[in-house]
Structure 1
Amino acid sequence: MFLSLPNTRAQTQPQLNERIKPGSSLSPPISDYQSSWLSRSGLFAFGFYKQGNNGFVVGIWLVGKIHSTLVWTANRDDPPVTSTAKLQFTMNGTIILTDQQGQEKLIVDANARASSASMLDSGNFVLYGDNNNSSIIWQSFDHPTDTLLGSQSLPCEGQLSSSLSETNSSTGRFHLNMQVDGNLVLYPAYIAETGWDAYWASDTVRANVKYYLYLNNTGSLQIWNSGNDSSIVTTLSYAEKDQQKTGGYQTIYRATLDFDGVFRLRAHHVNNGNANEKTLGCERNYSKAECRGGKDGVAFYDMVPMNNIVWKDHPYFETEDISSEQHCSFACLVDCNCWAALYEGSRCKKQGFPLRYVSRTHEGDESSTAFLKVGKNSIKHWKWNDTHFYPQPPPTKTTREVNKLVPWEVIDKNVMENIVKVALWCIQDDPLIRPTMKGVVLMLEGITDIAIPPCPDLSSS
């Protein structure tokens, strides 16, 4: 029930802010004014989030390249505002929304004077006191709506409420309550919230205790005892170790009571690489193909050579059974786990992500040629019945004298040649480059071009 772990910049004129000063303001993103305040890394934003065709709500969201994920909403049951609305941060510790009718509504009220505000990389929006720049006088983590983020807790008597739908952040039909009796319980809305009404409970009832729900930064969702002997009562869900090891990517966890009433834990793997931070790596500028048996996705990739490369990282695969640079490159092309190949002497080395510890030297220095797998086109526009989807092998000599196979019959030379090439693909020594049955049918029917297969390794027979 709790584990669902799929894999995640801002709108008009976003600005990365460490501290936001009183007097700062925001407007919806269709205007020329700033529409959001970003965290230092740009992972989270506070401001106007588009909802529906022309409406906007004030909230916090996890910034995504394709779509963003709303994690907190202010005044969530108020109707969305229009493009003429405005947010104003005041020295009195308030953030005020002025809507299209000129009416003012409190979004944040710290009940104290504020010196600054900040959108933190944890997803927490905070206000700092006037007398102490490090003293937090208000934070969004104390007022969750439907989501807990890493290092956020749901206190005793706290509640999460689902959204109305995937596109409407208003209060929905389900609640998650951290009860005074220590039990964490899911209820439908608009009922008496008795034991008979619950559709899930943690069964952690205990008298005279105060428990709270906590999501830590490594993806463990736990109920804790808040007494003097603060300790874990139970772990409801946790991220698997292979999901925590993301090869240099930052992982952001969130636990959300979705609109369908299911409480789900999700992991978002984020790479913050950019051109000015050379040690952080780079993001892909193409979509990754789905791995289908190690070969059906190679239509999306090319192997690009880079000379004078020194690679200090350990490969995940290394062999002396590949006889040339071309065959080493091709072996990486048809391996969906391989993103770079290096041929040194007589050894072929395959590298997976992250690609690291790589440098380029001057000609004449001890180095090798690396082959990098790069995307050709956007996967969104590719169809599985497109032609030329089968990998092109290293060049192989052929005399095309297939008529000698059946000299006693008159045959269509092209048909016979295609049959022979398909047969040779099917008996390749490396099972990873043998075609699927679907691939065989497409080749024999003439839908897919048939590349000349590489020569088999006679030494293995």
Structure 2
Amino acid sequence: MIHHLIFLCFCITPFLSLALAVDTISGNETLSGDRTLLSSGGGNFVLGFFHPGNSSRYYIGIWYRRVPTQTIVWVANREAPISDSNSAQLTVLNGNLVLLNESRSVIWSTGLNSTNSNNSNVVAVLLDDGNLVLRDGSGSGSNSSVGEYLWESFDHPDRTWLPGGKIAYDKRTQRRQLLTSWKNSEDPAPGLFSLELDPNGRQYIIRWNRTEQYWTSGSWNDHIFSLVPEMRLNYIYNFSYVDNVNESYFTYSLYNPSTISRFIMDVSGQVKMLSWDNRDWTLFWSQPRQQCEVYAYCGAFGTCGQTSMPFCNCLPGFRNKSDSDWSLGDFSGGCVRELDLQCESNRTNGRRDKFFARPNMGLPEHPQPLMVGSASECESACLDNCSCSAYAYDGNGCSLWNGELLNLQQLTEGVGNERTINIRLSASSSVFSGSKNNKGIIIGAIVGSIAVFLAILAIVMAIIWRRRRKTVSKSVEGSLVAFGYKDLQSATKNFSDKLGGGGFGSVFKGILPDSTVIAVKKLESINQGEKQFRTEVSTIGTIQHVNLVRLRGFCSEGSKKLLVYDHMENGSLDSHLFKAKEPKVLEWQKRYQIALGIARGLQYLHEKCRDCIIHCDIKPENILLDSEFCPKVADFGLAKLVGRDFSRVLTTMRGTRGYLAPEWISGVAITAKADVYSYGMVLFELVSGRRNSENSEDGKVKFFPSWAASVTIDGGDVLELLDPILDRSADVEEVLKICKVACWCIQDDENIRPSIGQVVQILEGLMDVNLPPVPRSLQVFVESQEHIVFFTESSSSGQSSSQTKSNTSSASSHSKPSTQSTN
């Protein structure tokens, strides 16, 4: 009776946005206009009509009640919108929940063959987990068990996977539930990207257009998916796998039920995990990590460039198929030709199509191989077939592509798999404009002539210079110069201008006869033979990255082992952070870019090299700054070069106390996560502008990471942590992000620390970071109010003008400090 009275009230006020006081639609009730249902229990979700963005189309959907920005989690009529919500009705009819349009035609239904229940008793109930269910109303109320549901929206997800839901594989019908993206931000119709369960591998996969698989989660190992390492950092949700005779599926729950969190299959083609932080949705992780790894993201004849914004652009001679779709983030329509091909026109005027060469491309899949002997034959084969859109020839063979070109990627030169593709265009295309082309030929001829003249002049000058200059190298191995010891002794004025020194050796400034300024490191304790040393140095010499110091050459004469680097004008990072006489203020934006650059350099060493290189001694003294303050990681690869044995006792270890991870003394194998720990300690010093450990006037040790973790995790004023010289002039969100990352990096358990690649994504803004737990070692330090030293040997390499100050590290929960040496 109460239900009917409430419903009658709503009929009297059709233009008010009202919510039914109940969570149920029974057989004699309808929902239309602005009327909504409120979920049972806590009222977490709302069901009603909505129109996305600026669209005039209406849909029945479910959204969060407590999130100010309307966030849709389920849509009923994705492919059948209505134009007038006041005339439409959502009601229970013949045992089904149906949506009737203005003409009272059924445009959406739950589609049940209701022979097992009394149709008059069927009701629709919105549960507090966001699940809309149909059940027999003669049961025990809206909280009936799942087994009594006749139908539920959790079995028919759209783009959102809520806690308690599942993306399953039905073994009886071989039906896969799909998590399918919206077409764009204003159209919930099914898009091209879908997530589904692969029951054979206990893994999830993402497909484009239900066909091309371009991502997999990796197999489930009862804890995480093997290719989603971010799950190690998870403290929000708990995954579980269910496999029975009827179906197999994953489901997840939240550790904290009050957390608002969801998975979505985004219009970007990435699956994302998002959490609400009372202000906005924050991204916890997304896969695939790089946008251009999404298959055909930019549509036909569109190119995806990971280093440019926007990611998608049309090939020369093409234009967007739909500007409105592209503005809404839907690039699936791709690009179309500005002019039809000559071969498609009835009036070719004797002209044939031409090809435009596009270098540094990741080529489309599914080429048609052709055995020809030259590039001209490859071009002719494509021209003779009007459906051929492009060709590529690399000397090993010819590849042709017919029809639309999909999944084109614009790569950075030097990545190793870039090729040149030749795109077929009409001869009348503006790309081959006559005036522009003739002008280009003239300019090219002039430039070419000048280039030839300069090349000849350069050769002559080089010959003269080579005859006059002193020979400073005896041989060249690859790109490295093998210097003679006497030549380096002369360049450094008998090693008189010392830049720094430490466990790996001392560094001296030098000047070559051609005025090139260098930094020469005299290595100590090198026990390798000549051949092995040259092999290891040659390996280091092939590693080049903008955030790694370039190795120019080496010297190996008996026991004399030296490395020659480029000299960095701005010295080492410690000279700018800790030296009082430094007149230049390292402003926050430079510090943030330095933090990002260090992470990128380490990512290259850890993830991009053929073999993972662990630095083992990350600290400000080993971060050098060029003339533009671009950070360069120095001394990489030296751990291997000096023959370090990680299994030796503590006193033989090289590194700097205060930056060494706890596993150095716990007896476990050293991994790249040891560098991550050291990097976290450097981040704290970038923020504070001082050493992490300092003695106070009362004799106690101040340990900055403890204070920083407390302020960060407890929601304090992070600008208080900032270097006083900056006078609180910094982006508070960036400071908070850096502090969060630092706290994650110094976790005692290396499995909880992020990879350095994840750190890069966070600092680049591609991944959000949540509040970390307080590392146990920091808690121990705060509780004991004393600093327990358990690292011994200190090294201070790099181009610093002074020795590294003694740094200490807090006790680890993995060890018993009282048993460690404190030399």
When the two structures are superposed, what TM-score results if normalisation uses the length of structure 2? 0.27
When the two structures are superposed, what TM-score results if normalisation uses the length of structure 1? 0.47
Flag the structure with higher helix content: 2
Flag the structure with higher strand content: 1
Which protein, 1 or 2, shows the higher relative CO under an 8 Å CA cutoff with sep ≥ 6? 1
